[in-house]
Every structure is written in C-alpha cells, then in structure tokens.
Homo-oligomer: A and B are copies of this chain.
C-alpha cells in the first residue's frame, strides 16, 4: 500500500457544484516521519459548509485550492504510528483529506472510542454537528426555560439535535422542514412539539404564528432566505437568532435579497449572530462530554444517512443541496 486515491477540487463551481468540479487522482504515500501517523479513512463527513470552501471569497475558513485535495471531518484507523499518543488500531477523528490512505501530523487528531458510540457518531452528534447544535443554542441563543425555540432545517443533522437539546432545556420547540415525512420525524423521533412543512404551507408567516402562539424567543437558523423572512414577523422582544447556516443561499451566484432585517431588530431589540463552531474550540471538550452523557442517558437520538464507497463522496456532498439526507450524511469507505 504505497499509493492512494485522492479527491481534488477540479474547478471552483459557479452556483451549484457538480460532479465535474471534482477529480480523482492517484499518488504516492510519503514516508512516515516522527510525530506522524499513517491513517486509513473509515468515515468521511460531507457538510454544507464545504461549499463555501470551494469558492475563493473571503470566509471564516480558508478556501480549498484548485487541484488539491478536499478536506473534511474524517474518522480513520491508525495503520502505523510514529507518535507516542497513538497506536496501531486506534480510531481517530480529525480534519483530514479526502484520501483513502494518508499521512497526518498527530497533532490535531482526537482519539475516539468505538465502545462508547458508533464511529460515525463522532462525525455527527458527538462531532462538529452536535457541538454546533449545543454551543450555538447555548452560547448564542441563551435560552431560558419556558421560551419558544424555532428551528429551520429542523430535520437536518444540526437541526434535529438543536430541537432535542431545546426540549432537554425545557423549551417549547417548533421545527421547519421540507417534507411531511421529515415533519413526522421531528415529532415522533426528535421530540419537537410542532412541525411545519414549508413546501406545503402557503403562508409561512401565519403558520409560524399559529405554531408559536407566544412568539419566537430563539430562532436557530440553518437556512436563511424566505423562511427566515417569515420568522421576522414572529420574533419576540429581545429574541436571539443564531445564524448557523444559509444553505438556501450557498449556491446563489448573485447576492440574494431579503426583507431588510434592521427595522425588525430595532423594533424588537433583537439580535442576529453568525455562529461557527470552530470559534468555540475551547468549549469543545466539555460539549462532547455533555453530548455523550445525554446520548448514553437516552435523552438524545440521531439520524444519519450512510453512503458507501470512496467514489461516492462527491455525489453524497451534492445530494445535501437536494435535501436527500436525513440527519448527518457520512460516507463509509
């Protein structure tokens, strides 16, 4: 095993990414040096935020380089180690390259325990997804018991965890999703109090008012766009919006326009704040511990969509933008 396949960014997409924006190459695996480990990828995370890294617009994280490997959260097995903290057979989590096999610096890798949770969970509910839900909701949303939490993209990887944590914290929780099946899941599986199908609802503004009769105190926004416009008419005084994503707008080539938020924020002394889990690295360990506890206490459940095969990673990524995933999407190699 001294060659590996790699998935590279071939072109920067304009608008929606396509398969042709990726290419596969084969290259030599370099010699292992001190402080490094040789890793075999086991589970690869595909995430909407990677779309941002495919563009070269300034963002919270450096863009991918054209012609170079894509990077995301990956669970891998240690095949060989020249670092004291890792041994052959360990499983690790880290920001790694889309390669079947790779040499990585041991720093920045975190050991994960397959006895505490399935390995794929460390990319989802016990990984960036769960931390995004937990830290976004608590650090920015600052929810108080009895308040109303509204979640968009509620059946998604982050949204479904946000709702459950909301319930654990004693909130009324309403979710917005795009199919009746997803809305059913919100209530039957993820303990949401109410669900709204935005694809079959004519007047979202009224539907939100009906589902949230006391108004919206915390809005966990995964989507932006028209749904978030409808929310504005329903926010309470001192409401907090966590802007966690804007998947509805990631593939726009022109800057999307929405109803101006300023007059609403002024009228309601309300806040909107962008949230990126990477900014809260110091709170990750405590967050993972809390999430693991809740998971083992049976208070949290999660859905994942597992695709198979290295070749299918790009398609799995593209399917995120068609809403073809339920919960966290990972690819098993």
Which residues does A use to contact B, with CB under 8 Å? Answer: 52, 57-60, 221, 224-225, 228, 237-238, 243-246, 249-250, 255-276, 279
The CA of A182 and the CA of B246, in the complex, are separated in Å by 38
Q: Is the interface of A mostly helix, strand, loop or mixed?
A: mixed
A238 neighbours in B (Cβ, 8 Å): 279
Q: Which residues of B contact A221 (CB under 8 A)?
A: 262
Alpha-carbon distance between A271 and B279 when the two chains are bound, in angstroms = 14
**A51 smallest CB distance to B (angstroms):** 11
Cα distance A272–B269 in the bound complex, in angstroms: 10
Instruction: Using known A-B contacts A237-B60, A258-B258, determine if residue A269 contacts B275 with beta carbons closer than 8 Å.
Output: yes
Copies of the chain in the assembly: 2
Name which residue of chain B comes closest to A235, CB basis. B274
Is there contact, CB below 8 Å, between B265 and A272? yes
**CA gap between A225 and B259 in the complex, in Å:** 10
19 new A-B pairs (CB below 8 Å) besides A224-B260, A246-B262? A52-B267, A60-B269, A224-B262, A224-B263, A238-B279, A243-B262, A244-B266, A256-B263, A257-B259, A258-B258, A258-B259, A258-B261, A264-B274, A268-B274, A269-B274, A270-B274, A271-B273, A272-B273, A273-B273
Residues in B neighbouring A257, C-beta threshold 8 A: 257-260
The answer to whether B275 touches A272, judged by C-beta atoms less than 8 angstroms apart, is no
Task: Report if A267-B274 is in contact (Cβ < 8 Å); known contacts: A60-B237, A258-B257, A258-B258.
Answer: yes
Complex formed: what's the CA distance from A259 to B52 in Å? 18
A274–B241 Cα distance when bound, in Å, is: 12
Contact A268 B60 (CB under 8 A): yes
Which residues on the B side are within 8 Å of A276 (C-beta)? 266, 269
What residues on B are CB-neighbors of A275 within 8 Å? Answer: 266, 269
Q: Shortest CB–CB separation between residue A138 and chain B, in angstroms?
A: 16
B228 near A262 with CB under 8 A, answer yes
Q: How far is the CA of A270 from the CA of B241 in the complex (A)?
A: 12
Q: Is the CB of A260 within 8 A of B225?
A: yes
**Interface contact B260-A249, CB-CB below 8 Å:** yes
Pairs across A and B, CB under 8 Å, 10 listed: A238-B279, A243-B266, A245-B266, A250-B263, A258-B260, A261-B272, A266-B275, A269-B274, A270-B274, A273-B273
